[in-house]
Amino acid sequence: MTEAQQVPETAQAPLPTGPALPTPEGRGQTLLRRIATGTPMVSLLSVVLAIVIGGILMAVTNPKVATAMGYFLARPSDAITEIFRPYAALVQGSIYNWQGADLAAQLYPLAETLTVSTPLIFAGLGVALAFRAGLFNIGAQGQLIFGALFGAYVGFTWHLPIGLHLLVVILAGIVGGGIWGGIVGFLKARTGAHEVIVTIMFNYVASFLLLFLLTTPAFQRKGSTNPISPFLDQNALFPELLGPQFRLHAGFILAILVTWGVWWIVNRSTVGFEFRAVGANPNAARTAGVNVGRATVLVMALAGALAGLSGIAQVSGTEKYLSAGVAASIGFDAITVALLGRSTPWGTFFAGLLFGAFRAGGVAMQAVTQTPIDIVLVIQSLIVLFIAAPPLVRAVFGLNPRKPKSKATKRSAQSGAAA
Amino acid sequence: MTSLRHRLAQRSLAGVAAIGASVLVLSGCGAAPSSSGASGGASATNSNYLGCMVSDSGGFDDKSFNQSGFQGLQQAVKDLGIQEKHVQSKADTDYDPNLRSMVQAGCKLTVTVGFLLGDATKNIATANPNSHFAIIDYSDPTFPKNVKPIVYDTAQAAFLAGYLAAGVSKTGKVATFGGLNIPTVTIFMDGFADGVKYYNQKKGKNVQVLGWDKDKQDGVFVGDFKSIDKGKVLTQGFLQQGADIVLPVAGPVGAGAGSAILDAKKSGTDAKLLWVDSDGYLTAPDYKSVLLSSVQKTMATAVETVLKDDANGKFDATPYVGTLANGGVALAPYHDLDSAVPADLKSEVDQLKSDIVSGKVKVSSKSSPVSQ
């Protein structure tokens, strides 16, 4: 984009070594890294701020609040109750239902939150892992679809014994997502194709491929021409953890294990160290002997595999069949989840839980108080906005960043752009 | 710099708060209503009846079956004095939790919309045998006894539209395209193509249908029900190939076809639009000037009827099939383009309608709920 970036590129061009070199980290990349690895305080305050603004939006758009405001001085409790009702419903629908008839009904919301967050955690980990290697993986959506496609096909065409079948389905999902993500890494390493563009396009390819396959007899139910696949075999499904009246399935346990696994890869393994080195500065990593191309392919394949698991959580967990909307907007929400989790595995895990709670609670909010579900999307979007603008959050809460630190980041940003 | 900005932000926030507070003080002096005043309904039993609805991912503002069904629910609230709750699904993954939340909210009957909700409706209905459900545009022989399918033999009305289009067309070419290649869409296209064919047989003409081949069950599709721009491009393509009447069967994407035809009209090409699901004259008034007619599914009436029956304790699981005979499907009035339809063509269409009702003319479609 700028000359400062192009000069070193031409200087590197004569290097005859095999794979094309990834472009040096530009200003956008630096900014991205700073957003993706912000401080926990900014994440927390962003959520608080988004919830407050969401509350104000609900209050001003709710005619009942306006009516109650009309006699605010006479009986303020009405207005206050109306203002807090939607959020009360959100909590009631996501954590604990104090109006539930029995214990099962009271705990249903919590189980629902865990269920809904499972695919978000997997896909969020996929995005977060790529972030750590300096890659902006917008393609979780497509990778999820590929994982679901592979897993579902194996799930409804093969008939294997209990235990084995689920294992094979999970592996198929890992392979499906891994291939779709790996191709992106390969293109990036070989040709320098920018992963953002490639993953966005791959999302389209994946979703239209899914749409097409669902019109073919191989993927359609017998005797139906609707674009819905047959149900997966009972053996191919995650076991229910709390019985049939809850949707919570063993995929959530797998999510905890996988989060730990990603933490181990990133922080304890050699490849994880290489990923982080490439993410921090690809040129320095190369000088230090890291095979940047190999790391790029590997990290994208792993990211794709994680998103693929998210697809398995859908088809083997909650949906039990393949439809065109199997991915919902999970692949895109995953980007927010990873941002909110500052790209750390456990941060992503808890961000996934929070978004799961928003999703689960949003349903109750809509059903009980008839608040439009869009308000949940507004809150999610506001969170992203605030995370992307840490100075704004600090200004609102009157926090001043420590001066020397901000200078240091500025300097490193400049040197990053010029390097 | 930062601190200055910070101070400014603080000051402006304080300003907003002050204004807000004064508005509150000025407007908040009314008297509180008595808390015991319950709102009076049409009847005591109806006001306790809770009718609910879950949309598919198209949402209640899809200018198509979600919207029509929702109008039925609102109409029932107005006419019968029942209570209502509705939730909108944002994605296919929302159906199951949304349906559960409706059952938990105490809904007596929950209306769901479209085949996408078929499995979820079946599961939740099986798990809650005491709640009633109705599903629009989908039928499944394995539904439990507490689900009533509301389906339409749309091919009958589309047949009339095909006949009408063939008669009105000056270029001898008419076109149609769909959102997705699914039965509830292609049933329109089947009927339309057969209507044109029937016209050709009767009159010895050769009016062509672009965009759908009934024998191959394949044709032109947008790929979704959202991309209005794609609908516009497809329609422009049809107009360039010489078609002068277009039937888009793609919900809101029909707006793309409408705007392409309006553009064509401005540049001197005469073309006309056929709408689907609802009377486009009322739901898409932007295209009034080019709207020939609409292939209607009167879902609002069906939904209201089902709710009314259930409120009166007369629920049954027999599918409601909308036909020309019971008015469930219909060809809308010609409205502003009344003069573009010759009088004898009008009477032929009317005659054809009564022939279909009497069974003299058979309309068939692979996608028809009657044939399944």
Closest CA to A236 of A172, A304, A326, A281: A172
Query: For residues A367-376, b (16+ Cβ closer than 10 Å) or e, as one string?
Result: bbbebbbebb
Q: How far apart are CA A167 and CA A173, in angstroms?
A: 10
| Overall domain count for chain A | 1
For the segment A302-317, what is each residue's pLDDT rounded down to a tens digit? Answer: 999 999 999 999 999 9
pLDDT recorded at residue B24: 46
- Residue of A83, A115, A219, A226 for testing the chain B interface, max B β-carbons within 10 Å: A226
Task: Report the half-sphere exposure of A289 (CA within 13 A, side-chain side).
Answer: 1
Contact check, Cβ <8 Å, A367/B33: no
φ, ψ dihedrals at B321, nearest 5°: -110, 115
Tokens 């058979």: give the residue. B362
Decide if B372 contacts B321 (C-beta within 8 A): no
pLDDT recorded at residue A19: 44
CATH of B44-152, one of 3.40.50.2000, 2.40.440.10, 3.40.50.2300, 2.80.10.50: 3.40.50.2300
Using the predicted structure, report yes or no on whether residue A97 has a pLDDT greater than 90.
Answer: no
From B86's Cα to the closest Cα of chain A, the distance in A is 7
Using the predicted structure, report yes or no on whether residue A152 has a pLDDT greater than 50.
Answer: yes
pLDDT recorded at residue A1: 40
pLDDT recorded at residue B171: 95
Decide if A66 contacts A336 (C-beta within 8 A): no
Using the predicted structure, report yes or no on whether residue B101 has a pLDDT greater than 80.
Answer: yes
φ, ψ dihedrals at B136, nearest 5°: -85, 135
Q: How far apart are CA A251 and CA A322, in angstroms?
A: 17
For the segment B274-330, what is each residue's pLDDT rounded down to a tens digit? Answer: 999 888 998 889 999 999 999 999 888 899 999 999 999 999 999 999 999 988 899
Contacts of B143 (CB under 8 A, 6+ apart): B121, B122, B125, B135, B149, B317
Confidence of residue A33 (pLDDT cuts 50, 70, 90): low
Provide the greatest CA pair distance for chain B.
84
Mean pLDDT of chain B: 87
- In chain A, residues with a C-beta closer than 8 Å to the C-beta of B9 are 395-396
Q: Token pair of A186, please?
A: 């390969």
Confidence of residue A72 (pLDDT cuts 50, 70, 90): confident
Using the predicted structure, report yes or no on whether residue B218 has a pLDDT greater than 50.
Answer: yes
pLDDT recorded at residue A63: 80
Confidence of residue B38 (pLDDT cuts 50, 70, 90): very low
| Minimal-distance CA residue of chain A relative to B102 | A367
Of A93, A226, A329, nearest to B183 by CB-CB distance is A226
Amino acid at A380: Q
* Residue-number span of the structural domain to which A227 is assigned: 118-346
Closest CA to B294 of B148, B164, B145: B164
Using the predicted structure, report yes or no on whether residue B272 has a pLDDT greater than 60.
Answer: yes
From A37's Cα to the closest Cα of chain B, the distance in A is 22
pLDDT recorded at residue A414: 46
Q: What percent of chain A has pLDDT over 90?
A: 56
| Minimal-distance CA residue of chain A relative to B32 | A71
The residue that leads in pLDDT, B27 or B262, is B262
Q: How far apart are CA B126 and CA B170, in angstroms?
A: 54
CB-based contact, A397 to chain B, within 8 Å: no
Contact check, Cβ <8 Å, A328/B105: no
Helix (H, G, I), strand (E, B) or coil at A11: helix
CB-based contact, A366 to chain B, within 8 Å: yes
- In chain A, residues with a C-beta closer than 8 Å to the C-beta of B19 are none
From B179's Cα to the closest Cα of chain A, the distance in A is 12
Using the predicted structure, report yes or no on whether residue B257 has a pLDDT greater than 50.
Answer: yes
CB-based contact, A310 to chain B, within 8 Å: no
The β-bridge partners of B87 are B54
CB-based contact, A240 to chain B, within 8 Å: no
Using the predicted structure, report yes or no on whether residue A157 has a pLDDT greater than 90.
Answer: yes
Contacts of A158 (CB under 8 A, 6+ apart): A165, A168, A233
Are B44-152 and B155-296+334-358 equal in CATH topology?
yes
By a Cβ cutoff of 8 Å, what residues of chain B touch chain A?
2-3, 5-6, 9-10, 24-25, 27-33, 57, 85-88, 90-94, 96-98, 101-102, 104-105, 115-116, 118-119, 127, 180-183, 223, 366-367
For the segment B164-194, what is each residue's pLDDT rounded down to a tens digit? Answer: 999 999 999 999 999 988 888 999 999 999 9
| Minimal-distance CA residue of chain B relative to A311 | B93
Confidence of residue A389 (pLDDT cuts 50, 70, 90): confident
- In chain B, residues with a C-beta closer than 8 Å to the C-beta of A370 are 85-86
Tokens 């036909």: give the residue. B323
Q: Token pair of A252, please?
A: 């959530």
- For residue B226, count CB atoms less than 10 angstroms from its CB and return exposed for 0-12, middle for 13-18, buried for 19 or more: middle
Decide if A121 contacts A352 (C-beta within 8 A): yes
User: Helix crossing, A270-280 with A103-132: angle to 10°?
Assistant: 70
CB-based contact, A326 to chain B, within 8 Å: yes
pLDDT recorded at residue B29: 61
Q: Does some domain include residue A148? A: yes
The residue that leads in pLDDT, A261 or A366, is A261
Pairing mode, strands B218-219 and B212-213: antiparallel
The β-bridge partners of B294 are B275
From B51's Cα to the closest Cα of chain A, the distance in A is 12
Mean pLDDT of chain A: 85
pLDDT recorded at residue A3: 40
| Minimal-distance CA residue of chain B relative to A215 | B181
Contact check, Cβ <8 Å, B9/A69: no
The residue count for chain A: 419
Using the predicted structure, report yes or no on whether residue A75 has a pLDDT greater than 70.
Answer: yes
Amino acid at A212: F
Contact check, Cβ <8 Å, A400/B119: no
Contact check, Cβ <8 Å, A366/B88: yes
pLDDT recorded at residue A419: 37
Q: What percent of chain B has pLDDT over 90?
A: 66
For the segment B230-240, what is each residue's pLDDT rounded down to a tens digit? Answer: 999 999 999 99
DSSP 8-class letter at A21: P
* Residue A339 neighbours by CB distance under 10 Å: 27
Contact check, Cβ <8 Å, B28/A71: yes
From A311's Cα to the closest Cα of chain B, the distance in A is 12
Q: How far apart are CA B306 and CA B32, in angstroms?
A: 39
Using the predicted structure, report yes or no on whether residue A261 has a pLDDT greater than 90.
Answer: yes
Please state, in angstroms and as integers, the Cα–Cα distance from residue A26 to each residue in A6, A22, A29, A299, B242, following that order.
10, 11, 5, 20, 52
The mean-pLDDT minimum among A191-200, A264-273, B1-10 falls in B1-10
Q: Token pair of A147, please?
A: 């994982």
Please state, in angstroms and as integers, the Cα–Cα distance from residue A326 to each residue in A114, A305, A308, A320, A323, following that order.
18, 17, 12, 10, 5
The β-bridge partners of B245 are B174, B272
Closest CA to A369 of A94, A98, A50, A88: A88
From A292's Cα to the closest Cα of chain B, the distance in A is 38
pLDDT recorded at residue A17: 42
Contact check, Cβ <8 Å, A329/B91: yes
Our measurement of the distance from residue B317's CA atom to the centroid of its chain's CA atoms, rounded to an integer in Å, reads 22
Decide if A122 contacts A306 (C-beta within 8 A): yes
Q: Is the full-model pTM beyond 0.80? A: no
Confidence of residue A14 (pLDDT cuts 50, 70, 90): very low
Amino acid at A395: A
pLDDT recorded at residue A35: 66
The residue that leads in pLDDT, A7 or A193, is A193
Q: How far apart are CA B190 and CA B363, in angstroms?
A: 9
- Residue of B104, B181, B184 for testing the chain A interface, max A β-carbons within 10 Å: B104
- Long-range Cβ contact pairs of A34-41 (< 8 A, separation 24 or more): A34/A409, A34/A413, A35/A339, A35/A387, A35/A388, A36/A131, A36/A338, A36/A339, A36/A342, A36/A343, A37/A131, A37/A342, A37/A343, A38/A342, A38/A387, A38/A390, A39/A342, A39/A390, A40/A342, A40/A347, A41/A399
pLDDT recorded at residue A32: 66
Contacts of B274 (CB under 8 A, 6+ apart): B161, B165, B245, B246, B247, B248, B291, B292, B293, B294, B295
Highest average pLDDT, of A26-40, B3-17, B23-37, B147-161, comes from B147-161
Decide if B84 contacts B52 (C-beta within 8 A): yes
Helix (H, G, I), strand (E, B) or coil at A303: helix
Using the predicted structure, report yes or no on whether residue B83 has a pLDDT greater than 80.
Answer: yes
Using the predicted structure, report yes or no on whether residue A162 has a pLDDT greater than 60.
Answer: yes
Contact check, Cβ <8 Å, A328/B93: yes
Using the predicted structure, report yes or no on whether residue A65 has a pLDDT greater than 60.
Answer: yes
Mean pLDDT of B149-174: 95
Mean pLDDT of A58-80: 82
Q: Is B251 left (phi over 0), alpha (psi -120 to 50) or beta?
A: left
Q: How far apart are CA A252 and CA A235, in angstroms?
A: 17
From A364's Cα to the closest Cα of chain B, the distance in A is 6
Confidence of residue A400 (pLDDT cuts 50, 70, 90): low
Q: Does some domain include residue A315? A: yes
Of B86, B97, B182, nearest to A227 by CB-CB distance is B182
Please state, in angstroms and as integers, the Cα–Cα distance from residue A379 to each residue in A58, A356, A382, B92, following that order.
11, 13, 5, 21
The β-bridge partners of B173 are B208
Task: Report the half-sphere exposure of B210 (CA within 13 A, side-chain side).
Answer: 20
Confidence of residue B197 (pLDDT cuts 50, 70, 90): very high
Contact check, Cβ <8 Å, A367/B93: no
Closest CA to B84 of B310, B344, B359: B310
For the segment B39-67, what is each residue's pLDDT rounded down to a tens digit? Answer: 444 455 678 899 999 998 888 887 778 88
Closest CA to A176 of A143, A223, A133: A143
Q: How far apart are CA A248 and CA B226, in angstroms?
A: 32
Contact check, Cβ <8 Å, A373/B29: no
Using the predicted structure, report yes or no on whether residue A50 has a pLDDT greater than 50.
Answer: yes
Using the predicted structure, report yes or no on whether residue A101 has a pLDDT greater than 90.
Answer: no
Decide if A156 contacts A221 (C-beta within 8 A): no
Q: What percent of chain A has pLDDT over 70?
A: 86
Chain A stretch 40-79, residues whose beta carbon is closer than 8 A to a beta carbon of chain B: 69-75, 78
pLDDT recorded at residue B251: 84
DSSP 8-class letter at B221: B
Q: What percent of chain B has pLDDT over 70?
A: 87
Q: Token pair of B362, please?
A: 């058979």
Q: How far apart are CA B49 and CA B81, in angstroms?
A: 9
Question: So where are chain B's domains?
Answer: 44-152, 155-296+334-358
Confidence of residue B11 (pLDDT cuts 50, 70, 90): very low
φ, ψ dihedrals at B145, nearest 5°: -70, -5
ipTM over 0.95: no
Mean pLDDT of A34-59: 83
pLDDT recorded at residue B226: 81
Amino acid at A32: L
Q: Does some domain include residue A404? A: no
Domain B155-296+334-358 has CATH 3.40.50.2300: yes
